[in-house]
Amino acid sequence: MHTPLFPRAASRRTYDVVIVGGAMMGAAAAWFLAANPDFNGSVLVVERDPGYQACSTAHSNSCLRQQFSTRLNIAISQFCAAYIRNFRAEMGGDPRVPEIDLQSFGYMYLAASERAAAALRAAHDVQAACGVPSRMMTPGEIKARYPFYALDDIVLGSHNTTDEGYWDSGCVFDWWRRKARERGVEFIQDEVTGLALSRAGNRVERATLAHGGGVGCGYLVNAAGPRAADVARMAGIALPVEPRKRYTWVFSAARPLGQALPLTVDPSGVHVRQDGPRTYMAGAAPAPDPAVDPDDFTFDHELWEARIWPAIAARIPQFDALRVISQWAGHYAYNTLDQNAVTGPHPEIANFLFMNGFSGHGLQQAPAMGRGIAEWVAHGRYRSLDLSAFHFERILARAPLTEAAII
């Protein structure tokens, strides 16, 4: 008989915190709550897909960068880098927890116009003020360091190899769940199908479950990824987050480069990076880029030949003969207002907490977001890093928090 990965039913009728969604964000909230010495409440994580086959976390490219254009996004990534470097210590020194290496091949942003170059310079000024050692590079300087690029159309580049690259986010995800459960957090296999508000409409009192009846809650955390707007709608909240499809290819080259390839953000919209000793990874959005069903993982098999390979080979002529090894489609939880996170409490439904709309930055932002949600629940405020710029008030005001460095 098949044994479910998680129990089907909750053990309590009410919880101090109910987390909707148990992928990277939900696991981050669960672990940081469990690890917070000032919180001793009960936590329930409701996950519809405990095999995690159809979540954004499972389809991520697992990258980390410091080259953002806002101080807050930079600080969030700096915390993630420090967290990864000290992962075992962050997990209480548990000898079972492995040390994690950050593969710091770096990022290379390429600008093909003066306008794009000006954006790189402005972002660089912010990065420098935050201690990020990114470097503005002329085409000649780029060519000297990375001779494989074709740069005739490039005006300027921005490059950094400190705390930028990719990491084993699956390991972090696994240990957050494991350790949270060891500390008493419950994970169940079910789906939240409704939210009951108080008579005054200022609190979520109960979450209805598809199979388990329902549970009362002190806080309700929306960590539902591409389904976040559906959960918000249950509380009468219009959240501008939708699933947007993103494609990934892993490939080998008949003529490998002979040196590590930074994650190259090409003006074409294609990005490509080293993925292993002899393999590479490319990613791109479709054009046009509509909202899709969160269960739609259909792959566009024509995109590689029509757009991706030509863009890669134009930028790196040595990549004229490539072989695709694997490919998949995943989803961004895309914030249509400004492609930045929505986190913290709703201004009227005060116990409804957002962890949504990360628009491709979720894995690298998960440690800071999990810590922030735990601080808000335990203390009613942020103690480490002020995330209030990401609160829902800006959504209501239609006041975008502009981040220029979006991939």
Q: What angle do CA 160, 165, 166 make, to 5 degrees?
A: 170
Measured distance between the N- and C-terminal CA atoms of the chain, rounded to whole angstroms:
45
How many residues are recorded in the chain? 407
Do the Cβ atoms of 274 and 280 come closer than 8 Å?
Answer: yes
| DSSP classification of residue 291 | B
Residue 61: per-residue pLDDT: 86
Beta carbons of 326 and 54 less than 8 angstroms apart: no
Give, for 315, the enclosing helix (H) or strand (E): helix 309-315
Quick: pLDDT tens for 207-257: 999 997 999 999 999 999 999 999 999 999 999 999 999 999 999 999 999
CA distances to 13, 41, 169, 333 from 164, in Å: 44, 36, 14, 22
- What is this structure's pTM? 0.96
Helices (H) and strands (E) in the chain, counts: 11, 18
Nearest one of 68, 61, 103, 108 to 262, comparing CA atoms: 108
Beta strands in 308-393 (DSSP E): 322-335, 342-345, 352-356
pLDDT tens for residues 378-401? 999 999 999 999 999 999 999 999
User: How distant is the alpha carbon of residue 126 from its chain centre?
Assistant: 22
The answer to whether the beta carbons of residues 142 and 108 sit under 8 Å apart is yes
pLDDT at 3: 44
- Average pLDDT over the chain reads 96
When pLDDT is averaged across residues 49-64 and rounded to a whole number, the result is 89
Tokens at 179, concatenated: 């350790």
Residue 401: what pLDDT? 95
pLDDT of residue 226: 97
Question: 71-81 pLDDT, tens per residue?
Answer: 999 999 999 99
Residue boundaries of the structural domains of the chain: 14-60+169-240+337-396, 103-162+242-334
For the stretch 249-296, pLDDT in tens is: 999 999 999 999 999 999 999 999 999 899 999 999 999 999 999 999
CATH fold of the domain at 103-162+242-334: D-Amino Acid Oxidase; Chain A, domain 2 (3.30.9)
Q: Determine the pLDDT at residue 48.
A: 95
Asked if pLDDT for residue 136 goes beyond 90, the answer is: yes
Q: Angle at the Cα of 355 (from 352 to 361), degrees rounded to 5?
A: 165
Q: Determine if residue 295 is left, alpha or beta; phi over 0 gives left, psi from -120 to 50 gives alpha, anything else beta.
A: alpha
Question: How deeply is 289 buried, as exposed, middle or buried, from its count of CB atoms within 10 A (0-12, 13-18, 19+)?
Answer: middle
Would the pLDDT of 30 be above 70?
Answer: yes
pLDDT in the model for residue 193: 98
d(CA 1, CA 349): 43
The pLDDT of residue 158 is above 60? yes
- The Cα 233–Cα 222 span in angstroms is 11
Residues of 191-214 as b/e, b for ≥16 C-beta within 10 angstroms?
bbeebebeeeeebbbbbebeebeb
pLDDT of res. 1: 33
Which tokens sit at 35? 């690890």
Q: Provide the CATH number for the domain formed by 14-60+169-240+337-396 in this structure.
A: 3.50.50.60
pLDDT tier at 4, thresholds 50, 70, 90: low
